Amino acid sequence: MVNRRITVLGNTLPKVDHAIVAEGLGAENYPFLRELTKEEAQEYEPIGGPYSMGAADRHMIRRNAGFMVAVLGKSIDDVVGYRILDIDEEIEFREQCGNKYATVVRYYAKKQ
């Protein structure tokens, strides 16, 4: 018997439509959070503390907002939007994280 290597030249997995899977599981399509400008953010109240993340993609921002407001005993519906802070903002927080160039996000809610 001869041992031969088989080389797969393409992806053998079938394509999966995530929308069909989500619909089958009964998941709702949640809208992404709105990114606020610095001026818009002044109209709202910061909720929770700043949040450091490696990459700021829309899915991760929404997921982290959900975790944070759940800890605070609030709902994701309370979050109006988010703002990615400038490099000169939250300097102490960045030093505590150990990366002064990290992406830092702050979430905002309506003023009460």
Lowest mean pLDDT across 10-19, 30-39, 87-96, 99-108 = 10-19
**Share of residues in the chain with pLDDT > 90 (%):** 17
Contact at 8 Å (CB) between 93 and 52?
A: yes
Nearest residue to 33 via CA among 108, 110, 111, 112: 108
How many domains is the chain partitioned into structurally?
Answer: 1
Residue-wise pLDDT tens digits, 10-49: 776 677 777 787 778 777 766 778 899 999 999 999 998 8
Residue 62 lies in a domain: yes
Indicate the average pLDDT of the chain: 83
| pTM recorded for the entire structure | 0.69
Residue 27 lies in a domain: no
Contact at 8 Å (CB) between 48 and 69?
A: yes
Q: Which domain holds residue 90?
A: 32-109
Residue 1 lies in a domain: no
Strand partners, 109: 45, 79
pLDDT at 74: 86
Contact at 8 Å (CB) between 31 and 91?
A: no
